Amino acid sequence: MTYTLLIDDKGENTVTLPASLQAAGQTAAAFGSRLVPCRIVSSSALTDCVVITSDIARRLSIPFVANVHVFLTAEAVHVGPLVGILTAGFTKSLHRPVGNRSFFFAKLLAQEKQVGGFAFLFGTSHIDWENGMVNGYFYTERGWERHAVPLPTVIYNRLPNRRIENDETFQTITETLQTAYGIPVFNGHFFNKWEIYRRLASHPEAQPYLPATAAHITWQTVDQFLARYTEAYVKPADGSLGRGICHLVKKNNVYECRFRDEQGETKTALFPTAMALWHHLLANAPLHRYVIQQAVPLMTVNGRPTDFRVHTNKNEYGQWQVSAIAAKIAGKQSITTHMNSGGIVKTLEEIFPDTAQRETVLTRLHHAALTLSRCLDETSETLIGEIGFDLGVDKQGRIWMFEANSKPGRSIFQHPGLKEADERTVLLPLAYAVHLSKTAITEPEALWP
């Protein structure tokens, strides 16, 4: 339940709660990392409002009135929560603080009105370590505004790329926020394909969805995969958007490698032996950072291979739910279904006009995505609240998982038929952040055993 936060200019040093909250013995109010001693009282006249005197609101650095959640501990009344969204690439413009990504973040931050609490955007340079404050970007009815607020209750990592994430400064700062300040961070890292495969392969419920995958590629590995599966993909373990992927085929004792060149054109090279193919791959890529994966004959739409992007998010109860599904149809002569290589996005209604067939596929994709989400959660040492899966359906109807993304791209939402799913996928991270905040405040031992 959320409450309307009101600021009282007349009284002092007091927080007044509805009697239904059953506060007892608390002697302080908290907002983010800031705790202020004050008088806590209850009023039967209040039902859905919390009243904070202006001196306490000022000392807590509450930026404006809003709908808030109230969490009680033995010592304090926590209002908020205060959710920080960590990113990079800030500009000097308050109208577009993160350039072209400002629109997406504005849409995300606007969800706080539905979810309750305060959400803001920040980078590591906006942290005032000496005073425990952040000069964050809020998106209000007036547009973007900056307010100095305490360190957040939870952090949602939306760093734009692996290069920044791997920067030593970012790693040190996020580690400090978690360990020294006890602030949980979710989706803290980009996924590595081999690490994800290794973790899921250890889980019996995930194993049926996994194509054969191997790291440390040698010419023998290439030969074995093509002897057994005829076709395979070589992918960068830390890649995204289909960049650097090669499609390998063995037919008539000839080894074929298809790839996109620097101009985006699909090229084909032929080799007489696996050794020669491996040398070609090795000359163009650091294979110790690649994986080789069994190719699966996918269902086709108009003769073109098709797979599915399935988003899953944790909701306000911390439970996984499927938030979006779209079909991705490969472009002509393309080796992947990515839009940047000519792929197109369709809704399930468009590719399965038959309701019964659509429901069958939908049910299988839902079950696979939720199972894989839980398996990743159970085998992860970090908090995950959002995953974008690339799932395939083969000609026998079996579901396969090709990739899992901790920061899924949003290009599928350009399709007008996915507008509701687009809104759902920006609302749920904040809903999960509220759940995570409540857990961090009232049951910290559940997060930090």
How confident is the model over 215-273, as pLDDT tens digits?
A: 999 999 999 999 999 999 999 998 776 678 899 999 988 999 998 887 778 889 999 99
Task: Indicate whether 127 pLDDT > 90.
Answer: yes
pLDDT at 241: 67
Q: What is the mean pLDDT of the chain?
A: 94
> What is the predicted pLDDT for the residue at 448?
67
Coil, strand, or helix at residue 303?
A: coil
Residue 22: its pLDDT value, please?
Answer: 87
SS3 134: strand
Q: What is the pTM of this model?
A: 0.93
Tokens describing residue 323:
């938030």
Q: What confidence score (pLDDT) does residue 445 get? A: 87
In angstroms, the CA 21 to CA 37 distance is 19
In this structure, of 8-22, 117-131, 132-146, 262-276, the range with the lowest mean pLDDT score is: 262-276
The residue with tokens 């209604």 is: 349
79, 5 in Cβ contact below 8 A?
Answer: yes
Read off the pLDDT of each residue in 156-167 and give the average, rounded to a whole number. Answer: 92
> Pairing state of beta strands 3-8 and 67-72?
antiparallel
Cis before 81 (ω within 30): yes
Q: Can the peptide bond before residue 184 be classed as cis, meaning omega within 30 degrees of 0?
A: no
Taking each helix axis from N to C terminus, what angle separates 274-284 and 219-229, rounded to the nearest 10 degrees? Answer: 120
The encoded tokens of residue 110 equal 């606007």
With a pLDDT cut of 90, the percent of the chain lying above it is 84
CA gap 321, 100 in Å, rounded: 29
Q: What is the pLDDT of residue 449?
A: 60
Q: pLDDT, tens digit, for every residue of 403-428?
A: 999 999 899 999 999 999 999 999 99
Q: Roughly how many angstroms between the first and final C-alpha of the chain, as a whole number?
A: 28
- Residue pointed to by tokens 């958007």: 241
pLDDT bin (cut points 50, 70, 90) of residue 334 is confident
Residue-level length of the chain? 449
| Phi-psi label, residue 294: left if phi above 0, alpha if psi -120 to 50, beta otherwise | beta
Which of 316, 322, 312, 336 has the alpha carbon at shortest distance from 405?
312
In this structure, are residues 42 and 78 in contact, taking their beta carbons and an 8 Å threshold? no
> What's the pLDDT at 447?
82
Tens of pLDDT, residue by residue over 272-330, are: 999 999 998 888 888 889 999 999 999 999 999 999 999 999 999 999 999 999 999 99
Distance CA 251, CA 244 (A): 23
With cut-offs at 50, 70 and 90, classify the pLDDT of residue 8.
very high
The reported pLDDT for the residue numbered 446 is 86
Three-state secondary-structure class, residue 193: helix
> CA 335, CA 330: separation in Å to the nearest integer?
7
- What Rg value do the Cα atoms of the chain yield, rounded? 25
Residue 78 has pLDDT above 70, yes or no: yes
